[in-house]
Chain A
């Protein structure tokens, strides 16, 4: 294949343009992933440079040890509470705001505000609001004649309390995604559905909104689940996994093992399993979106 000098020059230039990014991708993504895998097969600790190949021992240790099961279960409970609520409320709020054009801007701002706020700082505020003795939340419950709750101090409630804080921080993000999806639905579809007799809110939702929102809904469901699985900040700031490991979630356990106890081999194995979970979610989304294209 004869190539012109101009083409060859363009190719050389292309390599020049991608070189910095490619080098960094190798250093930041590809290299570390390979090293994480290799490390997960050893008993490497940062403290000593001597380490041994231990095969799959780190992985079998996970299956045997209570902290791993505990962290996985905690994360699932937390995510199982947070993800459906963040999805459902995000959708309901978006539809409600969409129908109230005159308030749309102000409501959008108010609901979105927590998304950009620094969660680490706001977590301190939530801890104060959830304080068992003097907090505003218990004050309100007390005022309504309801029993007060030990929000962050009770092992049974702490995951739910953390999920409430995350819900507050996340719902506006989902709302914005849903609003974008809703805006993209042509009005003519609603008119057509109305001619067919669908003019109630529920009818409109089931016949037009929900089917047309498919790809957006899938995207929101997947990103919300992944975000829920990644909970770390509020645990690190507020509970440090307590009380009594009741809020020790997956990434916090991986962090403790790797950076507090320096069990880097074991922590690497935990990281890889985490990556597989995230990949599984991403795969579901990719498969679904390929299959379901409306236009």
Chain B
């Protein structure tokens, strides 16, 4: 395309053929669509800066007529327990991720590179597990947690996600591509299997591990279902769960409600903007290569 337009006379490149009009209309529609996609964010941030009576004003302005942003955010961050909620979410997501990596990487390495009886059964269980959502297993896990008296604890909030069968599958696919000859050579050189994992396998799989980490963090930050079941106190409430509670307080403090919504949404949106390539490659790995 580029070659054609540079070798053609300038005037020709700008002539509006029906095809070019369609192309530009398409671009216009794409940006219109993109505007619809981000409008809720713009509206949310804008409302979080407004006093309550202005949020539903019929003349919507992006920048507030009366600036109440400082009040709203001060209330959310320092007078209401949102920092605790954010911290709870962070602790739960980080705890889940660490245990997921600790359990998935060794298992994936064994499945990818070592021979042992039962490996087919284990791999079959991993594949079957990928299709089982938490909604199906929640009742027995909940009953178990109640029986051992762990309801409303961090352990209860993290437990069903301590093993990610998806991570085992993803890492196994990645580790399989690592050359056997290098592993053999390392063994001859006196590397133990643990050293092989730590010094050869993990460094070679950094993209997959990083992508999965972002993926896992975002998924559990945004999860509502499980915290709704096992969290019963304010002290353990997660950021996502607190939004459910806001529904009731929603009628009297709109500005504050949307400041809270902004504070809760911001970490994952910022994480996405920073780790965009990683997250997108993670999603692509799940689909196209999986």
Q: Which residues in A have some Cβ–Cβ distance to B below 8 Å?
A: 10-11, 13-18, 20-22, 24-25, 28-33, 35-36, 39, 46, 93, 96-97, 99-100, 103, 106-126, 128-129, 131, 134-136, 139, 168, 171-173, 176-177, 180-181, 184, 215-216, 219-220, 223, 230, 232-233, 236-237, 251, 254-255, 258-259, 264, 267-268, 271-272, 274-275, 278-279, 282
Contact = CB atoms under 8 A, between A and B. Distances in A.
A259 B229 contact: yes
Contacts, number: 266
Given A116-B268, A117-B265, A120-B240, A10 B37 contact: no
Label chain A's interface by main secondary structure.
helix
Contact of A118 (B138, B160, B221): B221
Interface string B123-167: 001101101110111111111001000000000000110110100
Contacts of B159: 28
A237 B132 contact: no
10 contacts: A96-B29, A107-B34, A113-B269, A113-B272, A118-B268, A124-B250, A125-B43, A180-B284, A254-B135, A271-B138
A223 B133 CA distance: 13
B123 to A, nearest CB: 10
Interface residues of B, number: 93
Given A29-B132, A100-B30, A125-B40, A232 B224 contact: yes
Interface of B: 23, 26-27, 29-31, 33-34, 36-38, 40-41, 43-44, 47, 55-56, 58, 60, 102-104, 106-107, 109-111, 114-117, 119, 122, 125-126, 128-129, 131-133, 135-143, 146, 159-160, 162-163, 165, 168, 193, 218, 221-222, 224-225, 228-229, 239-241, 243-244, 246-247, 250, 254, 257-258, 260-262, 264-265, 268-269, 271-273, 276, 279-280, 283-284, 287-288
B102 A20 contact: yes
A237 B243 contact: yes
B137 A29 contact: yes
